[in-house]
Amino acid sequence: MLGVLAAADVEFVEQPLAAGDLEGHAELRRHSTVPIVADESVHHRDDVPHLAEAFDAVNLKLAKLGGPLQALAALRTARALGMGVMLGCMIESSLGISAAVHLAGLADWVDLDGALLLAEDPFSGLAWTAGTVERPTGAGWGVVEVVQDTAGSPA
Ligand SMILES: [Mg+2]
């Protein structure tokens, strides 16, 4: 399948095997021209050095790694090992997404759309347009809390 994906110009494949199957991922990587990216195999910055044989890149998620400083440390480790970096996210508010957006310039790929999956985002200030998200320029992370009325609806 990796050959088919390469012929279709697929940019990368994320976590095709189980999180603990590093040997399997390493074997896939040896036979693939499509970069193999770790997602579920990354839980902590200290995981990254153990993934350099099996993966071309890591998908770093601030909510999993423990915030922007832990993600930045993981990113620097990945770069020192010659790995690519994707910034990803969980389903989280614009507050969490904005923290990651501030690191986006350091990544090869950015997948920061989790707030768009929320029925009600408790923060506003991020704007996604045609597949891009702009780094907000306001104070702090650049987002503001949406004020709720007593019924829980945006005031
Ligand atoms: Mg994933």
Percent of the chain with pLDDT over 70: 97
Percent of the chain with pLDDT over 90: 88
pLDDT at 40 over 70: yes
pLDDT at 132 over 70: yes
Please tell me the distance between residue 16's alpha carbon and the centre of ligand 1 in angstroms. Answer: 9
- The pLDDT of residue 109 is 97
Please tell me the distance between residue 153's alpha carbon and the centre of ligand 1 in angstroms. Answer: 32
pLDDT at 154 over 70: no
Of 25-39, 50-64, 111-125, 133-147, the poorest mean pLDDT is in 133-147
Which residues neighbour 90 within 8 Å (Cβ) at sequence distance 6 or greater?
61, 63, 64, 96, 114
Could you give the CA distance from residue 73 to residue 45 in angstroms, rounded to a whole number? 7
CATH topology (fold) of 2-120: TIM Barrel (3.20.20)
Please tell me the distance between residue 63's alpha carbon and the centre of ligand 1 in angstroms. Answer: 13
Phi and psi based region of residue 99 (left: phi greater than 0; alpha: psi -120 to 50; beta: remaining): alpha
Could you give the CA distance from residue 98 to residue 115 in angstroms, rounded to a whole number? 10
Q: Is residue 94 exposed (0-12), middle (13-18) or buried (19+ Cβ within 10 Å)?
A: buried
